[in-house]
Amino acid sequence: MTTGKMSNENTEEAAALQAQIEHLQAEVSALRRQQKDDQKDVTFHFRGQMQNAMLSLCGQRQGDEKVLSMLMEEVEELEEDLKLQTQMNGISLTGCTTKTLQSSGRKLVQQLCVSGHCSELLFQVEFQLSEVNEASGCVRTISELNVVIDAGEMQNFSSFLSGVEESRDLLLFFRTLRSFSDRCDDRRRTFQHFQEKYPAVVSLPAGCRSEVMHLSHPELPGCVLLVHWSVHVSREGGVSPKVELLTKIPERALQLFPSQAVGGAAEAFQSLLRILGAEAALEAVIMAVSLS
Amino acid sequence: MTLQPPKSNTSATTSGCFHLKQRNVHYSTQHKYSQNMEVATTKGVLSHLSRLEVQKRSLKSQPQQPGGVKALRATVEALLTQRDQLRAEIQTHKNIKKLRVSMDKQCTNEEEETEEGMDEDSENSNLLRLMARHTQLKDLLHAHNVVGGYNVVKTRQGKGVCVSVATFYEGVYLNTYNLEIDVKPTVRISRHNVPPFIPLNNLAEQSNMQTDLRTLLDPLSQHLNAFAGRQQQFKFVKELHKSVEVMESNVLCSLLVLKFTVPREKTAVLCSLDYTDCTRSLPTRVHFESDDEELPESPVWKTHCSFLMETPVHKALKTMRKTGNIV
């Protein structure tokens, strides 16, 4: 092969290679843009152990076993942290999906959908979270809050929920939900306690989570005292338990015992409530009903 | 149980666990790393390309074409590697996202566990599943923070904890207050930056904090948020309603005295708002005083009175000015 011929072939190859290079460079740029787009979603923007795992999966890193175990360690730490936060915050979050709506150097807007439960109350909240870097620091705001809770509790909460959606007070919603759940737990514990202690007198026809406890003497099944323990939620988020005593006594019985004690039981109970508190007052009533 | 006074109001600079508050890094700061990540994946290729550049220059003395073709071939190889790497990363990303979606559905019991036709071998699919779970956990932890969780952090090998109480009003996250709490031998607040007019000592005494820290934190959060609400309302009154004069207010924001001017008669009305319930951000009492003694008893002003009892003051003033009742 003469030098001349070699140089011609070389020039052709060089030209072909150059074209290929330009084509590949364009492809790589396009792929890089796509990757940058993918990473705008903060959840899927990997760093640290996640980054190492990603590179290992794509064949760039050696030592696969180490990568798996290190990531496993980090995941276990996160699981522990989640347990701790769940216990401390008194709510259980089972799902959180995020969608990045806007992501620039200074501003990040995400749409979050968080679902979970507080004791036995299920909820789902959806809102937009904005984080803006300003001179004074990072300012976080919430907008477009939408709250859904377990249908059973709706009537208790409806005025509160509309207020909270209007004022976008996501944190108040959760504080109130927890408070409500705590007061319901108080009620459940008290009802269960009395049913176990005085099984002949106390019954819970709608279960221990209901608002009503029935008291009656086994030999006088027609005469029932109803304890109605409701938990109110004000529009402002104030949670207040209200305990009332109602009597279900047949007319004939009332005629036989025209004493104030029976007729005025409801008011008398309120006084007892103010002096002794709910549990002691209820115990006093139960003792009276069991005629012991 | 004793409480030490806070060392300073600017907690961020004090040592100890206050630095740990930075742990929940705001997502916008993570954004800075996007450029670095790009560099990390293409670093190997770029350094190779620059080596080729150096090689090319050093071959200047030799006949260029053969050296040139070799260099070009090497560049093509490098670019092919880079392209394949990027394709693999993007595909892996997609797979993790898909896995995550199906994991989210499982958590809300929407669907049974199904393998969405992943071709990965079992080792890779384990890693993928682990990565998807990682993203899920990060999101859940972020959610705990966003909905006003206490951000509890264990310190000193379990002998203490750090908690932070978030405050929030009308859609804006406001100040966060931090407490360092000893857990052993007894539960005791050791440091905090809660303002002195919040009855932290009383709340601690009335709580069951030895067994349940939330019996302290929930009432504290209620107090702090109510205070933040009142504070913001007073701030908005000063900023948005310059025609209304603020005669008196206090640090706890439990008292606000305003001077209204009635438009036509130019009468002055003094309005006192008492916020004696520190767990609320609405007043417990609204009282009007005027030289015109009949004015406070008039139906219009009785309406204003109940309006101010039920509505945040800055919003009430907006309405009252709009309807021309005050200047």
Provide ipTM, 2 decimals: 0.87
- CB contact under 8 Å between B30 and A47, yes or no, is yes
Is residue A260 in a domain? Answer: yes
Same domain for A232 and A209? yes
Is residue A258 in a domain? Answer: yes
Q: What confidence tier does A194 reach under pLDDT thresholds 50, 70, 90?
A: very high
Same domain for A221 and A284? yes
DSSP 8-state secondary structure symbol assigned to residue B325: S
**What is the Cα–Cα distance from B90 to B158, expressed in whole angstroms?**
41
**What is the Cα–Cα distance from B152 to B322, expressed in whole angstroms?**
46
Q: What is the 3-state secondary structure (H, E, C) of chain A?
A: CCHHHHHHHHHHHHHHHHHHHHHHHHHHHHHHHHHHHHCCCHHHCCCHHHHHHHHHHCCCCCCHHHHHHHHHHHHHHHHHHHHHHHHHHCCEEEEEEEEEEEECCCEEEEEEEEEEEECCEEEEEEEEEEEEEECCEEEEEEEEEEEEECHHHHHHHHHHHHHHHHHCCHHHHHHHHHHHHHHHHHHHHHHHHHHHHCCCCEECCCCCCCCEEEECCCCCCCCEEEEEEEEEECCCCCEEEEEEEEEECCHHHHHHCCCHHHHCHHHHHHHHHHHHCHHHHHHHHHHHHCCC
- Tokens coding B118: 């992943």
Contact by Cβ (8 Å): B144, A81: no
Same domain for A188 and A176? no
The reply to whether A165 touches chain B by the CB within 8 Å rule is no
Q: Give the pLDDT score at B25.
A: 44
The reply to whether A271 touches chain B by the CB within 8 Å rule is no
Same domain for A225 and A159? no
- Name the A residues in 4-43 with CB < 8 Å from any B CB: 6-7, 10-11, 13-14, 17-18, 20-21, 24-25, 27-28, 31-32, 34-36, 38-39, 42-43
Same domain for A228 and A133? no
User: For residue range B196-214, what is the model confidence (pLDDT) as tens digits?
Assistant: 999 999 999 999 999 999 9
Of the ranges A173-177, A234-238, B272-276, which one carries the lowest mean pLDDT score? A234-238
What domain range is A258 assigned to? 183-291
- Name the B residues in 18-37 with CB < 8 Å from any A CB: 26-31, 33-34, 37
Same domain for A280 and A246? yes
- CB contact under 8 Å between A88 and B66, yes or no, is no
Same domain for A170 and A188? no
Same domain for A148 and A187? no
**Mean pLDDT along residues B139-150:** 96
Chains A and B form CB pairs within 8 A to the count of 238
Extents of the domains making up chain B:
91-144, 149-225, 241-322
| Angle formed at CA B179 by CA B174 and CA B180, multiple of 5 degrees | 150
What's the pTM?
0.82
| Angle formed at CA B226 by CA B225 and CA B227, multiple of 5 degrees | 90
Using the CB atoms, write b or e for B292-318: b if 16+ within 10 Å.
eeebbeeeebeebeebbeebbbbebbb
DSSP B192-243: E---TTS-HHHHHHHS-TTT-THHHHHHHHHHHHHHHHHHHHHHHHHHH-TT
**End-of-domain residue from the set A154, A180, A206:** A180
**End-of-domain residue from the set A180, A198, A214:** A180
- CB contact under 8 Å between B65 and A11, yes or no, is yes
Chain position carrying tokens 């954004």: B31
Q: Give the pLDDT score at B274.
A: 96
A11 contacts in chain B (CB < 8 Å): 65
Q: What are phi and psi of A47, to 5 degrees?
A: -135, 170
Q: Estimate to the nearest angstrom the gap between the alpha carbon of A280 and the chain centroid.
A: 33
**What is the Cα–Cα distance from A147 to B149, expressed in whole angstroms?**
18
Check pLDDT > 70 for residue B10: no
- Tokens coding A116: 């979970």
Is residue A205 in a domain? Answer: yes
Is residue A127 in a domain? Answer: yes
Q: Give the pLDDT score at B31.
A: 44
Is residue A267 in a domain? Answer: yes
Check pLDDT > 80 for residue A163: yes
How many other CB atoms are found less than 10 A from the CB of residue A91? 23
Helix (H) or strand (E) holding B134: helix B122-146
**What is the Cα–Cα distance from A100 to B34, expressed in whole angstroms?**
15
Sign of the CA dihedral B57, B62, B66, B67?
negative
> Which has more confidence, B56 or A49?
A49
Name the domain count of chain A.
Answer: 2
- CB contact under 8 Å between A35 and B90, yes or no, is yes
Is residue A148 in a domain? Answer: yes
| Cross-strand pairs, A248 | A224
Check pLDDT > 70 for residue B83: yes
Same domain for A230 and A273? yes
Q: Give the full edge-to-edge strand order of the sheet including A239-248.
A: A202-203, A212-215, A224-233, A239-248
- Tokens coding A118: 């507080």
* Interstrand relation of B160-169 and A239-248 (parallel, antiparallel or unpaired): unpaired
Same domain for A218 and A274? yes
Q: Give the pLDDT score at B30.
A: 44
Same domain for A102 and A200? no
- Tokens coding B182: 């000893």
Same domain for A187 and A243? yes
Contact by Cβ (8 Å): B219, B203: yes
**End-of-domain residue from the set A145, A161, A180:** A180
With CA atoms as reference, the chain B residue closest to A74 would be B134
The class that CATH gives domain B241-322 is alpha beta
Q: What are phi and psi of B207, to 5 degrees?
A: -90, 175
The reply to whether B38 touches chain A by the CB within 8 Å rule is yes
Across the interface, of A17, A38, A139, the residue whose CB is closest to B73 is A17
How many other CB atoms are found less than 10 A from the CB of residue A271? 10
Across the interface, of B93, B130, B143, the residue whose CB is closest to A44 is B93
Of the ranges A22-31, A99-108, B29-38, B185-194, which one carries the lowest mean pLDDT score? B29-38
**Mean pLDDT along residues B100-122:** 67
**What is the Cα–Cα distance from B214 to B152, expressed in whole angstroms?**
11
**What is the Cα–Cα distance from A102 to A191, expressed in whole angstroms?**
51
Is residue A232 in a domain? Answer: yes
User: For residue range A200-250, what is the model confidence (pLDDT) as tens digits?
Assistant: 889 998 888 889 999 888 887 778 889 999 999 999 999 999 999 888 877
- Name the B residues in 154-173 with CB < 8 Å from any A CB: 154, 163, 166-173
- CB contact under 8 Å between A171 and B166, yes or no, is yes
Instruction: Give, in order, the Cα–Cα distances in Å from B158 to each of B152, B153, B181.
Output: 12, 9, 11
